[in-house]
Amino acid sequence: MFNCHSRKYTLALTCIAPLFATTLHAEDHNYGPLRSYAQSPIQSISLAPVLRSAKALPIDYKEIYGSVTAASVWADTDDYTLDYYHNQVELGGKWVFSEKWLMDINYRWSFAADNHLDGLTESFHDLFGIDQNGREEVGRDQFTQNMTDYGLKNENFDGETLSNSVNIYLERKVYEKDKHSLSFGGGLFYNHVASGPFEGNSFDQNVQINYTYSNEAHEIYSMLGLTHHSRDKLNDLLPMKSMTFSTAVGYRYQLFDNHQILAEYHLYDGYIDDSSDLSEASHEALIGYRYLMENSAIEIFATENMVNMDNSTDISFTIGYRYQL
């Protein structure tokens, strides 16, 4: 017969047991790399390939996701001046509808709005010893795009839509054995901005190949992509390349049962076809954290430009939520 103390211990174990039963491990979730998108000024409003996992998912796997991003753009060269904030809202979902095929559909809205990142950006750069590139010499919270050679000058465009797009991506699993996975995919991107200084339409296409290496708590992702751009001019002024190249690599580490840390590097070919810095490749470094729950995950990450400080977003911060049905 149990005494009073035994009953208390039994009750405590009964309450605690479910917590251990739902302990999560890397193999319980297949979220792959961060759900991120290019943040460079031109790439963020066009089609840019996304770093993805090549691992096969169970048939009828479904995931819905959403995220918000706040970014600060700063560039000052002999050819142009860019000083504004852009923000993105993304909603989407993916579905494994056969043993080999996956579909991913998402909507992305990018708009200019004051997110007060200038002060935080300067502090972040000071903390890590990153050059301010002249940012501290101008006023904060401005909305300016000035490209004299093309006659482009946008001022005070706070509240305007930068892009309003739908992206459909289809992927086929090609190879999976032991720790190695390979897949091939292609996407269609339609952007329509009905009015304002960024009014216009575009219909772009991309293909990409994805490779993933998995080893218990470690996972490495890589991607090579090629994008075809339908419009030959941005805002009817800036000449655009018809084809651009992208590549990315990422690493995920299972820190604890419910905690993952991720680091990624993305390279995007310059989209503008001229001799300015916007024609050169942009380099983005991402560092993030993912908290796993029973059927969902929260992601928080920062994107920082590297190498060329005048053709990429200065810094951006993203928070996202992903739910597996």
User: Model's pTM, two decimal places?
Assistant: 0.84
DSSP of 1-48: ---HHHHHHHHHHHHHHHHHHT---GGG----S------STTGGGS--
pLDDT per residue over 22-36, tens digit each? 444 445 578 999 999
79 pLDDT tier (thresholds 50, 70, 90): confident
User: Do 50 and 37 contact (CB within 8 A), yes or no?
Assistant: yes
Winning range, highest mean pLDDT, from 117-121, 137-141, 187-191: 187-191
> For 10-14, 38-42, 218-222, which range has the lowest pLDDT when averaged over its residues?
10-14
pLDDT per residue over 88-125, tens digit each? 999 999 999 999 999 999 999 999 998 887 666 666 66
* pLDDT value at residue 277: 78
* pLDDT value at residue 311: 79
What value does the mean pLDDT take over residues 235-245?
A: 86
Task: Give the alpha-carbon dihedral of 248, 50, 119, 141, to 10 degrees.
Answer: 130
